Amino acid sequence: MNKKGDDKFVKSLVVYFSCYGETEEFAKEIAEVVHGDLFKLEPKIAYDSDTSHYEALADLTKTERDKGVLPEIKKYPDVSSYDYIFIGYPMWWYTYPQIIRTFIKNMDLSGKVIIPFNTHEGSGDGGTYKELQDELKNSKVLMGLPIKGANMKYDQKGNIKEWLDSLRINF
C-alpha cells in the first residue's frame, strides 16, 4: 500500500508494454493490489494492435529480435523515487519484446528491486526472469508471474494476490 507519508509501505511502479491488452490488464491488477503507480511503455512507432494482423506483427517482431532493433520509446518514467519496479510484457518469440530491452538499456535501475510479470500463450516466462537478472546485475530480480494471455479474460486477482503475498513484501 503506497500511502503517502507512510514509511511502512514500499513505493511501487508498474511499468508495462502491451499490444493486445492482456498485459495491460495484468499490470492494472497488480497496481490495484500494491497501490502502485502505472506507466505504459509506448513505442514512438506504434505496433499494429489489430489481432487480425497477427502474422504481420509476428514477422515484424521476429525481425526486430533477430536484428537487435531497439524501438524508440516516447517517454520514460522517473524511477528515482520507487523501491520496487514491476516490469510487464507479453512473450514475443520466446523472449520479452525489444521495447523492454530498450527500456532496461536506457534506465538506471541500480539498487532497485525488479519484479517481472508476463503474458504468454504457452511458453511461461521463457527464461526471461533469469535473463533480466543477467541484464540488471545491479538490481535484484524477484520471481515473476507468467499468466496465459487468454486467461486474462477471467478474474486473475486471486492468482496475482497469492503471488504478491508469496514475495513477502509489505505493499
Q: Report the CATH number that the domain containing residue 112 is assigned in CATH.
A: 3.40.50.360
* Residue 103 forms part of a structural domain: yes
Q: Give the DSSP letter of residue 139.
A: S
Rounded-to-integer distance, Cα 64 and Cα 45, Å: 13
> Residue 48 has what pLDDT?
83
* Residue 69 forms part of a structural domain: yes
* Residue 3 forms part of a structural domain: no
* Residue 1 forms part of a structural domain: no
Q: Encode pLDDT of 127-138 as tens digits.
A: 999 999 999 999
* Residue 2 forms part of a structural domain: no
* Residue 140 forms part of a structural domain: yes
Cβ neighbors of 122 (< 8 A, separation 6 or more) are 148
Q: With bands split at pLDDT 50, 70 and 90, how would you rate the model's confidence at 40?
A: very high
* Residue 4 forms part of a structural domain: no
Number of folded domains in the chain? 1
Strand boundaries in 84-158, DSSP class E: 84-90, 113-120, 140-141, 145-148
Give me the domain span that covers residue 47.
12-166
- Which amino acid, one-letter code, is at 30? I
* Residue 129 forms part of a structural domain: yes
Average pLDDT, the chain: 91
pTM of the model: 0.91
